[in-house]
Chains A and B, each alone.
Chain A
Amino acid sequence: MIVYVYDGGFQGLLTAIFEAFARKQDVVKLTGESRFEPGFFDTSVRVRTESAKAERVWLGLQKKIGVEGQQRFYKAFLSEQAEVLQHLFKYAQYVFRNPDGYAENYGNDDVLAMAQAAQKVHREKHRMEAFVRFKKHQNGLFMATIYPDFNVLPLICQHFKDRYADQPWVIYDERRDYGIYYNGSTICEVVLASKPRALTEQDVMETGLDSHELLYTTLWKDYFQSTNITERKNKKLHLQHVPKRYWRYLTEKMA
């Protein structure tokens, strides 16, 4: 088996697709550098990421599957799952090899896997648009930490920029240890020196939160209780919509 080892980035993936095409190597296993373990019977090829090659593949994809298709492809990539990346690789080969329109053949494993992975990531993106909880700090900065299943910060930044155009904010992905910061006009990526934690009541006393922050936290928790109809209690549905792994980051679910 031929194994392509690439840097794990999006451009790297596109370059790998380019190389496979150029070398006419159809059956290829794709591995990120960090996960690479040489196998006895494998021939490994190091893919050196080249933006020019990646660009050509990206434009080629656009011609085949349109801008919407590209977006889905990118979303699926952000799932960061090895098997999805393998499907993406084969998906690209499949659409390049076939006439236009085959990107809609959901009877094909790779086409379906791409669509389903993109949908999963899209759901997590949507969930994070819902589950971000800002806390206002004394300096006026609105700060939130999240721990999403997939790498969705690149997908949500535009939403938050459009919506909270008049306030500075930070959304920090604890799992991947980076965040996005909006200063009132532009967005940039940040890595914090001291890592933030999901804030507990105790932290509130210690950190530099705005003097009204505790009031609104309380009001929100109260509201969350008051708007519930106890006669209709449905814990299963509640957990389905708000899985426990997100609770640490949700103001209304904190103790």
Chain B
Amino acid sequence: MEERIQEKLKILADAAKYDVSCTSSGSNRKNDGKGIGDTGSGICHTYTEDGRCVSLLKILLTNYCIYDCAFCVSRSSNDIKRAAFTVEEVVSLTMNFYRRNYIEGLFLSSGIFRDADYTMERMLRIVKKLRLEENFHGYIHLKTIPGASEDMVTEAGLYADRMSINLEMPTEVGLKLLAPDKSHTEVKRELGVIRAKTVQFDDERKLIKSTPRFVPAGQSTQMVIGATAETDRDIMQTADQYYKAFSLKRVYYSGYIPISTDNRMPIIGTPPPLIRENRLYQTDWLIRLYGFDVQEILNETHQHLDLDVDPKLSWALRNFHLFPIDINTAEYRLILRVPGIGIRSAQKIVAARRFGKLRIDQVKKIGISYNKAQYFIRCVDTPFQLNERDEQTVKQLILRTSQSKYLKNQFQQLSLF
């Protein structure tokens, strides 16, 4: 029995690992005093050797699946070991891992066996058992099964902290190519159901305080990057649309790791597009937290993100005429746009300059990346630059002194003529 559970866990954790989301924050479930668990700011309990955080017990209920999506390791035509957990097994694993402080909670996804509702019903039983019988108040992230009935999805939303359903491919065309049975329309329908219910519950709570919370940590989705031919602009436009239309908390970008000999996709052994993935996340941050519009970063003339510099620096170099800005007088939202200055540093700068004009040594100590920022800002003691540098020179200067792991021996030689 123990060996069997060990084998199941190996198979079903391995199959679930391509789901990127591991967020455990954004909910505020409290322990009622005698139960177990709570949620709050989210904790990464450990990190695997690929540097990804482990916050939740991320497993599939089963990797049996009736669908044959080309990009998925659990596709029905793939010759792999199959397994399925029982409801009790998932509950017991979750509780025992949680009690030892290994995890923040459960991330439960599943292959689709028999049909969508049959699968969703099993998953629902697990979350209900955890919440109602085990008195568990930790974090639960539940994947919505495409095609599950509205009733089932709505009920699950009362027990889960977050729900998500994956777009899989950035465009409908890409998805149809690799997974003819799936569609973005179905994803939109399910995201829409949860969104509408969330709004409805929030409205009711304004009148009746005891109205339960519905998916308190919101919804997220995921796209696979680099399996099909979409541009970065396609990807970020899709992300932006979904952020806006469904108030998503997060969109995740998952660099495709070749797992199939299917000739529609990169061949096995092709390294995953890690740098590209990283640049997409940086862009995502700029859009969500730094006040950038996606059009400013990716547009008709810039369909792809630069790989050698981050998107903020890339934007600043393209808009070099807007700089330098005076750190002692510029608006907060402009300081946020300076390469090498993050949110915390920008806040500290704005707070500190009320007490006197800031010098270079002060902004350095505050923690900005002066190596980058120096070409875009003026402090009170910044010396005048007689012959102005152009953006190409600045880019080369930054690259030459940069320690980015992506840039080792990669920067272009300056041409002499």
Residues of A within 8 A of B (CB): 101-102, 104-109, 112, 115-116, 126, 129-136, 142, 144, 162-167, 212, 215-216, 218-220, 222-224, 226-238, 240-242, 250-253
* A129-B43, A226-B10, A242-B46 known; A104-B352 Cβ under 8 A: yes
* Bound form: Cα–Cα A152–B355 in Å: 33
List 10 tightest A-B contacts by C-beta distance, closest first.
A237-B51, A228-B48, A226-B13, A234-B51, A232-B50, A241-B47, A106-B352, A105-B355, A104-B351, A107-B352
* B272 and A231 form a contact (CB under 8 A): yes
Partner of A235, one of B5, B31, B36, B49: B49
Q: How far is the CB of B55 from chain A (nearest CB, A)?
A: 9
Interface membership of chain B positions 28-62, coded 1 if the CB is closer than 8 angstroms to chain A and 0 otherwise: 00110111111000011111111111100110000
A224 to B10, CA, bound (A): 10
The answer for the CA separation of A242 and B359 in the assembled complex, in Å, is 36
**B300 on the A face (CB < 8 A):** no
In the bound complex, residues from chain B placing their C-beta under 8 Å from that of A222 are: 6, 9-10, 13
Which chain B residues (100-158) contact chain A, with CB distance < 8 Å? 100-102, 135
A236 to chain B minimum Cβ distance, whole angstroms, is: 7
B18 neighbours in A (Cβ, 8 Å): 229
B30 / chain A contacts, CB cutoff of 8 Å: 162
Asked whether A130 and B272 contact (CB < 8 A) given A223-B13, A233-B50, A241-B51, the answer is: no
When distances are taken between beta carbons in the complex, the residues of chain B under 8 Å from A144 are 101
Binding site for A on B (CB under 8 A): 2, 5-6, 9-10, 13-14, 16-18, 30-31, 33-38, 43-54, 57-58, 93, 96-97, 99-102, 135, 255, 257, 271-272, 274, 348-349, 351-356, 358-359, 362, 365-367, 405
Beyond A163-B31, A165-B33, A215-B2, is A227–B48 a contact (Cβ under 8 Å)?
yes
Q: Which A residue sits closest to B39, measured CB to CB?
A: A163
Partner of A227, one of B58, B349, B356: B58
Which one of B2, B46, B351 lies within 8 Å of A130 (CB-CB)? B46
- B36: chain A residues within 8 A (beta carbon): 163-167
Task: A240 to B36: give the CA distance in the assembly, Å.
Answer: 31
B352 to chain A, nearest CB (A): 4
**Alpha-carbon distance A126/B30, docked complex (angstroms):** 18
Contact call A133/B271, Cβ cutoff below 8 A: no
